[in-house]
Amino acid sequence: MDDREKAVEAEKAAEKRHEEKVTQRQMNLDAKLHYPKDSFFKTLDSSVKKNSVFVKKLSTITEANRAKLTQDLNSLNLTKYIEEVVAAICTARLKMQDMNCAIHLCSLLHRRYSDFSTLLLKNLQQSLANFGTKEDKVSRMRIELRLLGQCLVLGIITDQKEGFTLLHNTINHIVHNDKEKLEYLPAIVSFVKHCGEDILGVMSSKNRELQEEYSVKLPMMKFLGKEKQQIFADLVREYCATVIISLIRMHGRLLKILKQNKKTLYMKGEVSAEKIEIAEKLSAQHSKLTMNATTLADLLCETLPDLPSLHNLDDDDQDQSGGNTNASDMGEGHLWEDEDQKTFYRDILDLTGIVPQILYKRDSSKDGKEEKKEEKKVEEKVEEKKIVDLEEVKDEEEITEEKIEEEFNKLAIKEEEEDDEEEEEIVVTQNSTQDNNSSSLVMTVSNKALMDTFINRLSTISNRDLVNEVAQEFCLSLNTKTNRKKLVRALYGVPRSRLDLLPFHARLVRTLSPILPDVPADLFTLLKKEFLYHLRKKDQNNLETKVKNIRFIGELCKFETVEKAEALWCLRVLLEQFTHHNIEIACNLLECCGRYLFRSPDTHLKTNHLLDQMMRKKVVHNLDPRQITMVENAYYYCNPPERVAYTKKIRPPLHDYIRKLLFIELNKHSVEKVLRQFRKLPWNNEEVARYAMKSLCKVWMVKFHNIYCVANLLSGLAQFQERVGITVVENVLEAIRVGMEINQPQYNQRRVAEAKLLGELYNYRMIESNIIFNTLYLVISFGSLPDGTNPIDPPTDTIRIRLVLTIMDTCGQYFEKGNLKKKCDTFLLFFQKYLFTKVQPLPIDVDYSIQDTMEAIRPHMTLYSTVVEVDEAIAEISPQLRHVLGSQEVDDDEDEDEDEDTETEDAADDGNSPTEDEEVKVKKLEVHKCEEDEEFLKELEKTMTAELSDRKTNMRVGSSDLALPMNRGFKGPKIDGNKMQFSVLLKKGSKQQFKPMGIPLESDFASNLYDKQKAVLKEKEELKRLVLSQEQRQEEEELLAEELECGTGGGGGSTRNWGYTARPADRKQRPRKAPQLTTEMFNFSR
């Protein structure tokens, strides 16, 4: 049905009502011309009994007995009882839905009895004149005002002038004397609703909209002039304005009280009972006034002002929930961690649809009234606990102890009464069973055995299905009062070590509670009594029992078997005595149901206030570290800190591909594949190249055991993109230095990974040994002051020790000969001295790491136990430090070149060199000239020219470079004692003679010649050793190749590895030959 059809139907209904009113009014006005004669009344029943009964019926007029009353009225002669009839109608306790019946009877009486109209007006005048003294004056005014108005409209009151005067005086009195309390507002609303169109000449907003929108005609009676209608309308509109002003004032007052209560609730967690009662009363008055004012304004076509909402208070109050969760936005879904937990605590089996009502109705119907009284008492107690005002509690500790004592005594008295009732029942049962036969005894014994079996089964409950099965079994087979008592005792006596059973037992209680309400009530009584008992006793025993008890209460609270106010009350009492075991009990309660209470909208603020109070007590009280940890864990379990939502960074696809290759796919089996993919990158694109090098520097994002694969990748990539190796090495060295400057613990793992990469870069010949040793010395000396202190390296910080050990574990095995061995030994002495700057003894893991590293690289080195011994060892080598560390870089390079040559040969023998099908393009280092280089070359050329000119003027041949005369029979100088024997060539005439001559070994000539001979012999022996080892290695490889051919049938092929060359097991060499980066390429100064 559309709006147009509704408008048409409304028009028809209005026309019908209008016709009925006009007809009835005309009939009532014409009644004085057609009153019945006396002969008519003689035909009617005039018996006193029936007339008296009818008069009594008029005092209870209802729409249901309308037909009966009309029938009696038409059959009775009420001429002598007309006054009693009028009085009964005026004093009848009518309801608004019965007013039409009363008007109908008045209309019938008026048409038959001529004096009815006069008597009715007289009674209304008396009643309306004394309405202020009646107890039910508001309801009587509502009825009489409508009765007067409708009687005037329908012409029942013939003296219209007197009637409208009475109506005007009544409304005028209400308007001018009811501006404050607005007691008669419902009477005015009812009068305007039923008589407004006819007497006031006003139309409601709804009818006016229909008339304007759909052009329908809604007729109105016009028996009263417009001027008189305007008088009545002005009076009512004046009253409506008064109502609107009162509504605005009341709304502002209610808004202020609600804000104050909300502020008090936020600041203290509770609001006093008086304030809550005032707010509730005012809110009820406000709702009633708003409803009446809205109705009256709609009837008079007036508009109400827009008032601020009572639900959305000031913006400042929106964030006063105190926690990380807005309580107003919380719903059922926020109470639980996941759907399984929500299902466990909320999806409860409904036994009322399974268990026949007869099995539990009998027991519950006996004492239904008593249970209702007890429930009311419990609700009153809970409400009292909910609204205890903190402002009125001056001495909380004393009041709490008194409350504990009072609660405990009440529970004890209640338990004693229950025990007495049980004893009486037992006596009655014994007396009644004496007359029973033996069969009943057999049934009792079997029932007891079933109950014992049922109780034993409770310890095996481990899921929801078993709980539902056990609940059904108890209700169908074991539901007696004695068994319920046994069940409560069994649940209460759960072993203190079986905390895992508590959720399932609580679910069982919740499942039984709809049909067996005494089970949860009795169980909670026992739990609360035990809780109060331990609080009163204040002993430090039975901690597990206390924890079991409080966790059981928490589980019952989550199942809503126990009121939330009870759990909060227990927590508050524990916080009042926040010592010893009470700390652990409070933490267990919060861990059990604290998050549920914190997330529940009705208990959020109170729980948050108690949590803040607990954290303040933690600071004030002298708690041990274990208790502090427990309190913090409980607090953050209930109110976890805010977590910033992780937003994935959007990168270009090529950047994601680089990260995937480097951080996910790179391992020892995929180095060759990753190297090929990196070579295919668009290195000409500066953005891609920069990101690739940046990713190669983020070595901490690679698994630690795969860091060597990054160095392997770099060594292979540097042959094609030389700037990659230089950039990565520079960044790694810079990162190590920056890490020592800031020294933040969160970067320790990153610094260890960077140290590991630095060592692997040396293993793959990306850097020289000088860079390694410079870094090692920088690690142990950076930031040191002259007095030996180091502000950026505290004595308790061992991260630098770990950096040194990581580097030495990675590449220290290659410092075993020549000057590298001497440098390493010297550094290890200084490293031992550095260890004594730390707090002794060192942590056990660091000490073991040092021992493992020394065992691997220097198993026979002396580890000094005191700093004095280390200083003495350093003093012994001090004269030689300049000779060893400062002037032997050339020898280091020779040693490294030796390794390069040997490694190259090994690579060639292994077949890992590039084949004809696969060309390797090795680019030369590009030299970019600049002005500084040209200036440097000019200065170098001047220096070299000056040095050459000085050498020409002061040229002198060293004694060690003298050419010795050759003699075929002479085999070289011989050493005899402290002299070296030479043969001196003498010439006399044409003859040559050789004459022996001894030169002391201390002379420069003899010592230089001796060192030179010794170096030549050493070189020959080393060359011999290399040749022999090369031959031995070739033989071993040939044998290995033959074995492989025999094992694989000769079908295998060679595998090329661009990134890694395996080291032989019997030789310790660096893995591969790669472009070396010298120390001149890096600037170590900040």
CA geometry: angle at 817 spanning 813 and 818, to 5°? 140
| Average pLDDT, integer, range 593-618 | 89
601: pLDDT strictly greater than 70: yes
Question: Taking the CB of residue 986, how many other CB atoms lie within 10 A of it?
Answer: 10
Identify the pLDDT of residue 983: 77
Q: Using CB atoms within 10 Å of the CB of residue 283, give its burial: 0 to 12 exposed, 13 to 18 middle, 19+ buried.
A: middle
| Average pLDDT, integer, range 273-296 | 87
| Average pLDDT, integer, range 353-365 | 63
First to last CA, the chain: 88
| 468 DSSP assignment | H
**Gap between the Cα atoms of 110 and 35, Å rounded:** 9
203 pLDDT tier (thresholds 50, 70, 90): confident
> Over the chain, what is the mean pLDDT?
78
Identify the pLDDT of residue 82: 85
Contact 149, 112 (CB under 8 A): no
Question: Taking the CB of residue 81, how many other CB atoms lie within 10 A of it?
Answer: 18
CA geometry: angle at 1020 spanning 1014 and 1024, to 5°? 145
| Average pLDDT, integer, range 190-201 | 82
590: pLDDT strictly greater than 70: yes
164: pLDDT strictly greater than 90: no
Provide the β-strand partners of residue 997: 982
Residues 6+ apart with CB under 8 A from 824: 773, 812, 815, 857, 858
Convert 197-212 to b/e letters by CB count within 10 Å (16 or more is b): bbbbbbbbeebeebbe
475: pLDDT strictly greater than 70: yes
1077: pLDDT strictly greater than 60: no
- DSSP string computed for 349-368: --GGGTS-THHHHHHHHHTH
Q: What's the order of all strands across the beta sheet hosting 974-976?
A: 974-976, 979-988, 991-1000
Identify the pLDDT of residue 366: 40
761: pLDDT strictly greater than 50: yes
Question: Taking the CB of residue 966, how many other CB atoms lie within 10 A of it?
Answer: 7
Identify the pLDDT of residue 419: 56
Peptide bond preceding 841: is omega within 30 degrees of 0, i.e. cis? Answer: yes
Per the model's pLDDT, the better-predicted residue between 461 and 426 turns out to be: 461
Residues 6+ apart with CB under 8 A from 897: none
**Gap between the Cα atoms of 706 and 1083, Å rounded:** 29
122: pLDDT strictly greater than 80: yes
**Token pair for 421:** 């009732």
417 pLDDT tier (thresholds 50, 70, 90): low
**Gap between the Cα atoms of 5 and 214, Å rounded:** 10
| Average pLDDT, integer, range 46-56 | 86
CA geometry: angle at 497 spanning 493 and 500, to 5°? 90
**Gap between the Cα atoms of 173 and 231, Å rounded:** 14
Q: Using CB atoms within 10 Å of the CB of residue 298, give its burial: 0 to 12 exposed, 13 to 18 middle, 19+ buried.
A: middle
Query: What amino acid is encoded at 593 in this protein?
Result: C
* Residues recorded for the chain: 1086
> What percentage of the chain exceeds 90 in pLDDT?
23
Question: Taking the CB of residue 1046, how many other CB atoms lie within 10 A of it?
Answer: 9
Question: Taking the CB of residue 504, how many other CB atoms lie within 10 A of it?
Answer: 20
Instruction: State the sign of the Cα–Cα–Cα–Cα dihedral 1017, 1021, 1023, 1024.
Output: positive
Identify the pLDDT of residue 176: 86
414 pLDDT tier (thresholds 50, 70, 90): low
Biggest alpha carbon–alpha carbon distance for the chain = 205
Residue-wise pLDDT for 653-683, tens only, equals: 999 999 999 999 999 999 999 999 999 999 9
Per the model's pLDDT, the better-predicted residue between 1043 and 914 turns out to be: 1043
Pairing status of strand 991-1000 against strand 979-988: antiparallel
- Residue the block writes with tokens 């070579």: 679
What is the CB-side half-sphere exposure of residue 662 using CA atoms within 13 A? 23
Q: Which of 86, 185, 201 is nearest to 145 (CA)?
A: 185
| Average pLDDT, integer, range 77-85 | 86
- Residue the block writes with tokens 């630095």: 758
Query: What amino acid is encoded at 61 in this protein?
Result: I
Least confident segment among 100-114, 355-369, 1056-1070: 1056-1070
Any long-range contacts for 274-280 (C-beta under 8 Å, 24+ apart)?
Answer: 275/389, 276/387, 279/254
Residue-wise pLDDT for 678-718, tens only, equals: 999 999 999 999 999 999 999 999 999 999 999 999 999 99
| Average pLDDT, integer, range 1064-1086 | 40
1011: pLDDT strictly greater than 60: yes
Contact 274, 223 (CB under 8 A): no
Contact 486, 451 (CB under 8 A): yes
Identify the pLDDT of residue 40: 83
Identify the pLDDT of residue 157: 85
| 994 DSSP assignment | E
Contact 494, 548 (CB under 8 A): yes
**Gap between the Cα atoms of 508 and 470, Å rounded:** 8
Identify the pLDDT of residue 194: 83
Identify the pLDDT of residue 1: 55
Contact 193, 132 (CB under 8 A): no
Q: How many helices (H) and strands (E) does the chain have?
A: 41, 3
396 pLDDT tier (thresholds 50, 70, 90): very low
Identify the pLDDT of residue 592: 92
Query: What amino acid is encoded at 596 in this protein?
Result: Y
8: pLDDT strictly greater than 80: no
| 500 DSSP assignment | G
Phi, psi (rounded to 5 degrees) for 122:
-65, -45
287: pLDDT strictly greater than 50: yes
Question: Taking the CB of residue 817, how many other CB atoms lie within 10 A of it?
Answer: 11
> What percentage of the chain exceeds 70 in pLDDT?
76
| Average pLDDT, integer, range 782-791 | 78
Least confident segment among 398-412, 821-835, 939-953, 1003-1017: 398-412
**Gap between the Cα atoms of 151 and 142, Å rounded:** 14
**Token pair for 195:** 């008589």
Least confident segment among 190-199, 368-377, 512-521: 368-377
Identify the pLDDT of residue 940: 81
Q: Which helix (H) or strand (E) holds 724?
A: helix 722-742
Residue-wise pLDDT for 907-933, tens only, equals: 444 444 433 333 434 444 455 667 777
16: pLDDT strictly greater than 60: yes
Residue-wise pLDDT for 319-353, tens only, equals: 444 444 444 444 455 788 888 888 999 899 888 88
Identify the pLDDT of residue 268: 62
